[in-house]
Structure 1
Amino acid sequence: MRDPFPQCPASVVKAITPICQAIGFTTLPSHAHEVFGAFLLYHVINVYVSPLVSPLLFPKTYRSFNKRNRINWDIHVVSLVQSTLICIVSFYAMFADRERSAMNAHQRVWGYTGFCGMVQALGAGYFLWDLMVSTQYLNIFGPGLLAHAVCALCVFSLGFRPFVNYYAPTFLLYELSSPFLNFHWFMDKLEMTGSRLQLLNGICLLVVFFFCRLIYGTYSSFRVGMDIYEAWKMPPDDIVAQGRNVPAWLALSYVTSNLILHFLNIYWFGKMIEALRKRFDSTTNTKQDGKKSEPIEDGVSVEGTDLKIPDTTSLFRESNVRQRK
């Protein structure tokens, strides 16, 4: 399936091709404009669009923020736009790209389609922006987010060799949980904490995070690992016939980065459950003692956000999830 965007300008392709060939990113010249375009789009939304539109839509709330909260709000806006856009594009690639659907195990490792290359570029552009923001605000979001950005950019950059380009839409569907995380954070800031809408959103958040990132994510990680292993142990005669093999460093780099991302998801989900359990235990003990409970804040890094649980009565209404992607 072809890339739906116009081709990268010939002058740009000519200028970057020697560098891309030297580092092995042979398909990057065809998608460099899309990587840069995605990076620029998210930067503009963060720096210009959100600070301009947000005070018009939510004047009381946005103008009351301190600098840290404004940074968080603008980044959540980017995350919401990016996660919605990339999930739509990824679903379309998985169901409409027939060339991708027909790939065998070897082609899933080394195969390439123009449309999946475009999806790869949009993902790489976002994680490049994510790396910049995580570095810029390291004191706010911490080293966990920076590690996430580095690993994600590594995984999606390797796709330009091309290498497991087939799996780009698959792993970008991790973002299905991100809109719920963002809406949960926005509702808290808009004084909707404890509302039925936030309760429903919280249930959707936990369910989608669990099934999308942990269940489907584990299955997808196993599949890509098996495909890479099969290509790595390919007999010498087949390597000559196919014209390439999987270097140990490449397999190790991809699998390690993928595993780090996967275990971060497991860690974040565990911390979410732990925070809810702490609040539940606190509420139970308070009722038994007959004392008024004190607000509990439990900071949990969930893709660059803090999960804080205010003093309310409902298990799901208690969670305040801050998420950036």
Structure 2
Amino acid sequence: MAIVDDPLASLRLPLVDLLLTPLCGGVLKNHIHEVVLAFLIYHGIYLIARVVSPKVAKGYTSLKYKDQIDYCIHVVSMIQCVVIFTLMTPLFNHPDLSKDRVFGYVPYGGLVLSFALGYFIWDALISLAYVKYFGPGFLIHGVISSLVFGVAFQPMIVYYCPIFLLFEVSTPFLNLRWFGNKIPGLVSDNFKMINNIILIILFFFVRISYGLFQAFKLFTDFYHARNDERFIWQFAMVIVVGNLGLNLLNFFWFSKMLKIAVITIRQMINKETKTDLLIDNDNDNGGAPITGYRTNLPSQPAKRGKARSS
């Protein structure tokens, strides 16, 4: 049986009804307390991670200040993935939403939107606070995602909510890659290699291929619904432009992944070649090293990689 009701509908937070509810349109007024709750939960996890990690996390204290912040952000991201995957699963192929992919709405869908929006708002604000460390890319991602999921409370595209949140399936592997690269000895080289392969495959097939297919499907639904009195062009354009922007970011990040993968493979080949040359040299030249052997590849295959929600 499909879940329809919102289990947190009766929850009330101090000052939210007084200050925020009057400002909300659409069905957001029924869920703004959940957006605030999600934001507070994720920021609370971040603050706890900042306090607890130095005491219990291997290698945390040896990280630079910037990486310590990033470490805690990745902890939040990992927990968010578990939360949002658990919440969104009942929405897939939901019969009430499938009847109207553009304007369909069930209160439980509003709950899922709320936890997604609460995280993306937190993500945008934390990216803004530390933009000097992490650059504008993650800030742009957080702002666009917040706008798109905010507009969805009109309600619009609740049907597509779990579909686009499915993009986060690659995020745990991106988080694991970051932890493995930043903390020596945390995982084996074989684990890193397998994790990186899974990451690239998932990122391409889910975010790129599946993402473009679903975007085309969404734009087609918008075209067919354009004359519906509930269709608001301004909100539809926010969703369309936001979706295109996020797809461009996905292509940019995927190109960086491929570049890192190529560098890593070349390093592995050069390492094997160097070993073979030294062995041949030991056999043919009495153990004297071949002085002309060198590589211009960087010693580390990857720069900072950071996993957040699209």
Q: How many residues align?
A: 287
Query: C-alpha separation between the residues in 1 aligned to 2:270 and 2:191?
Result: 28
Pick aligned residue for 2:293 from 291, 296, 301:
291
State the TM-score, normalized to the length of structure 1.
0.80
- Say if 2:212 is the partner of 1:209: no
Residue 172 (structure 2) pairs with residue 174 (structure 1): no
| Structure 1 residues 247 and 99: CA distance shift in structure 2, 3 A | closer
Q: Quick check: 1:3 aligned with 2:11? A: no
Give the whole-Å Cα distance in 2 for the aligned partners of 1:53 and 1:14.
35
Q: Does the alignment pair 1:250 with 2:235?
A: yes
Which residue of the partner structure matches residue 247 of structure 2?
262
Which letter maps to 2:66?
R
Task: Name the counterpart of 2:112.
Answer: 119
Determine the C-alpha separation between the residues in 2 that align with 1:186 and 1:282. Answer: 21
Show the counterpart of 1:315.
none
- Give the fraction of aligned pairs with identical amino acids, expressed as a percent: 34
Contact 2:96 2:104 in 1 (8 A): no
CA deviations over 1:207-226 (Å, ceiling 9, x no partner):
11111111211111111111
CA displacement at 1:80 relative to structure 2: 0.6
Deviations 1:298-320 (A, max 9, x none): xxxxxxxxxx616xxxxxxxx87
**CA shift for structure 1 position 153:** 0.5
Q: 1:283 to 1:62 in 2, by over 3 A?
A: closer
Tell me the equivalent position of 2:65. Answer: 67
The question of 1:323 aligning with 2:307 is answered yes
What is the aligned partner in structure 1 of residue 53 from structure 2? 54
Structure number, greater radius of gyration: 2
Q: Distance in 2 between matches of 1:255 and 1:18?
A: 27
The one-letter code of the counterpart of 2:96 is E
TM (normalized to structure 2)? Answer: 0.84
Partner of 1:29: 29
How big is the shift at 1:280? 3.6
Offset of 1:140 from its aligned partner?
Answer: 1.1
Matches within 5 A, 1:110-189: 110-189=103-182
CA 1:19–1:58: 2 relative to 1, 3 Å: closer
Using the alignment, how far apart are the partners of 2:167 and 2:183 within structure 1?
26
Match of 1:18 in 2: 22
- Contact 1:180–1:204 (Cα < 8 Å) also in 2: yes
Match of 1:98 in 2: 95
Which residue in the other structure is 2:40 paired with? 40
Residue ranges of structure 2 left out of the alignment (5+ in a row): 275-289
Tell me, yes or no, if the aligned pair for 1:8 and 1:29 is still in contact at 8 Å.
no
CA contact (8 A) 1:8 1:30 kept: no
Distance of 1:196 and 1:283 partners within structure 2: 13
Check conservation: 2:22, 2:29, Cα contact below 8 A.
no
Distance 1:54 1:15, change over 3 A: closer
Q: Alpha carbons of 1:245 and 1:189: their partners in 2 closer, same or farther (altered >3 Å)?
A: same
Cα offsets for 1:28-69 (capped at 9, x unmatched): 11111110111111111112x21233233325x112222111
Residues 8, 32 of structure 1: 8 Å contact kept: no
